[in-house]
Chains A and B, each alone.
Chain A
Amino acid sequence: MNKIKFATAWLGGCSGCHMSFLDLDEKLLELANKIELVYSPIADVKEFPEGVDVTLVEGAVANLDNLHLAQQIRARSRRVVSFGDCAVTGNVPSLRNTLGVDDLLTAVYQEGPGRHPVGGGEILPRLLPKVLPLHQVIQVDAFLPGCPPDTERIWAAVSALLADEPLLLEPARRTFG
């Protein structure tokens, strides 16, 4: 059997959604037979590969690195899932949206000695003026809400995706938080 090319990515989030994914526990052993993990923060491939079947994206779009990765993911994945509340709504990272980016940077770093970091060069990505949910920057095929989504939700979603079926969450599993 051909293994499904599976990826997970991490934009502006807390990694809690990935932790909930790892909470699948022994189901991960089962999953290892069905998927090839081609890209993930827990794996070492540095460049998002071509021809991915399913990608779960945790986190909101907060800086230019996030934005570029999101676009790459879209171009190279057949199905993209907005994984968790940060990706779906912006959630906690978007709480900074009421503040201007420059004011924020100054306020956070002003106290330390030394020059404060400025994004925009080769290394530190520029922060976007507003933190955005994933579907505002790329088209998303399915939404998996929750902060984080619990393992039942994740398993229901992963099972559907691996079977190439549409992801239909029952109403009780469409909650936030």
Chain B
Amino acid sequence: MSKTIVIDPVTRIEGHAKITLHLDDQGQVEDARFHVTEFRGFEKFCEGRSFWEMPGITARICGICPVSHLMASAKAGDAILGVAIPPTAARLRRLMNWAQLVQSHALSFFHLSAPDLLLGMESDPAKRNLMGLIDRYPDVARNGIRLRSFGQKVIEMLGGRSVHPAWTVPGGVRDPLSQESRSQIQQMLPEALAITEQALDLLRSTADTYRDEEALYGNFPSLYLGLVTPEGGLEHYDGLLRVVDSDGTVLEPGLPLPRYREIIGEAVEPWSYLKFPFYRPAATRAAHGGAAETQYAAGMYRVGPLARLNVCDFAGTPRAEAELRDFRRLAPRGRPVSNSFHSHYARLIEILYSLERIAETLDDPAITDPRIRAHAEVNHLVGVGVSEAPRGTLFHEYQVDSNGILQRVNLIIATGQNNLAMNRTVKQIAQHHIQGGKVTEGILNRIEHGIRLYDPCLSCSTHAVGQMPLQVEIFDSAGRLVDRMARN
């Protein structure tokens, strides 16, 4: 008899989710679904408020990447004002954005994934967490804490607090960088760089152990989307949208950001509060010119660290550039790296890159310039703000009236864009490990690790209205709930 397994909640991810595995009569995995169970309704309840409030409100979508929402929201605000913000303000925003990349990637790698990588995917679930890591590998745990703390401290020095700083505003930022903070960050940098190099060595040392996972976890062709600089370099704050396919063909070399709607559609499914964004042209092609929506899954694309390294032509800082070259060797020449397992590696490369950029930016004497804000009134009724959040490209679009009151809000969050790929990954791992309906706790954790690769920020993705815990349920072929697995 066929059945459904439920993993509830999915843990060590940032949000509330469940996974259901649907088994056929032979106990083989027929389908797998990743459900987001939280819904909060930001887009709706922000209507009628002023766009000036949006950085502060949308930051509360997510405590892990509030800075990304601050950036996208402030940039949408800049567009409504119609101003070019002072150059120092733009560089300070970049600084904070890189700091966030460091803290968020450190959290993903050390706090959330290292327990799997170092203690073992199938190790004791009671210890397979940060506290267990502190116990067994205190030095690694301490490094992770220090590296995350570096990012959080930089954010705090710039914005006054590490979570939800009310610092970016339409037109620029509120406070300049003091000389004192600047030199303090400079003093903290060498340690952060050293920890990152050690983490890269650590990851390399586990490579042999995870050959199978590498080949299997999230390894399939898809499109990749991310920002690049006008020259094609790695970019996290501004630039152009690029889309590359699994052969390495560039489908969109550089679309201006406000035109994102031309290429991105959003589908919904009754079993998840998380929407399913897709690349429109591919879906339209698959539908032979019919409604793109009917074939939306053909427009599956991935965003985030792996995608960013796949779409850019170069990193542009010395150490990250060298690592990027090694990263590229993981795929046949000219092709993108298609296994999401390498997201761990991509994250560490991006940390390295961010630290190098932070160092470079602080060397510029203009960084402490006090001219950091442009003032204007509402000049445009639509504003689009796009930036790269740690998990991928983030879009905020606001329509306002002439008083700046929001009429319509659209947010496309990084994690949502990986929704199709996450579902595919869960299915891939489940199909490989589950034979004849036999499921162990360790296998369930492997499936969850498939989700952790995307470092989903479910609080973000369910800005719509919700939140997700992960559980596994097993349904039979008639759709009846047969079993529910919760690890304990």
Contacts and interface: CB of A to CB of B under 8 A. Distances in A.
Contacts of B294: 113
> Interface residues of B: mostly helix, strand, loop or mixed?
mixed
Contact of A28 (B134, B266, B445, B466): B134
Contacts of B464: 108-109
B481 A122 contact: yes
B465 A99 contact: no
Contacts of B293: 112-114
Given A112-B275, A150-B161, A40 B129 contact: yes
A122 B6 CA distance: 10
A98 B37 CA distance: 21
B142 interface: yes
Interface stretch (A43-51, A137-145, A160-168): A43-51
Contacts, number: 215
B269 interface: yes
Contact of B40 (A18, A96, A122): A96
Given A12-B467, A42-B129, A123-B473, A23 B149 contact: yes
A172 interface: no
Nearest to B485: A46
A67 interface: no
A150 B126 CA distance: 28
Contacts of B35: 123-124
B11 A116 contact: no
B455 to A, nearest CB: 13
Most interface-central of B16, B35, B459, B465 (chain A CB within 10 A): B465
Nearest to A121: B271
Contact of A118 (B57, B63, B270): B270
- The 9 lowest CB-CB distance pairs between A and B, nearest first, are A16-B63, A113-B293, A112-B268, A46-B486, A43-B129, A15-B63, A44-B125, A92-B60, A96-B41
B130 A99 contact: no
Interface in B242-290: 265-273, 275-276
A113 B267 contact: yes
Interface of A: 10-20, 22-23, 25-26, 28-29, 32, 35-37, 40-47, 49, 59, 62-63, 65-66, 91-93, 95-96, 98-99, 104-105, 107-109, 111-119, 122-125, 127, 147-148, 150
A109 B488 contact: no
B38 A116 contact: no
Interface string B365-389: 0000000000000000000000000
A32 B145 CA distance: 13
Interface of B: 6-9, 11-16, 18, 20, 35, 37-41, 43-45, 57, 60-64, 66, 107, 111-112, 125-126, 128-131, 134-135, 138, 141-142, 145-146, 148-149, 152, 161-164, 265-273, 275-276, 291, 293-294, 296, 445, 459, 464-467, 469, 471, 473, 481, 486-488
Contact of A111 (B9, B148, B266, B465): B266
Contacts of A37: 129-131
A27 to B, nearest CB: 9
Contacts of B152: 23
B269 A46 contact: no
A46 B142 contact: no
B45 A115 contact: no
Given A22-B111, A28-B145, A43-B12, A147 B60 contact: yes
A91 B146 CA distance: 31
A63 B296 CA distance: 30
Given A14-B61, A41-B12, A29 B45 contact: no
B63 A62 contact: no
Given A14-B61, A147-B164, A46 B9 contact: yes
Given A42-B129, A115-B270, A116-B268, A148 B275 contact: no
B163 A107 contact: no
B37 A123 contact: yes
Contacts of A108: 39, 41, 43-44, 464-465
Contacts of A112: 266-268, 275-276, 293
A144 B3 CA distance: 44
Given A22-B148, A46-B487, A99-B44, A117 B273 contact: yes
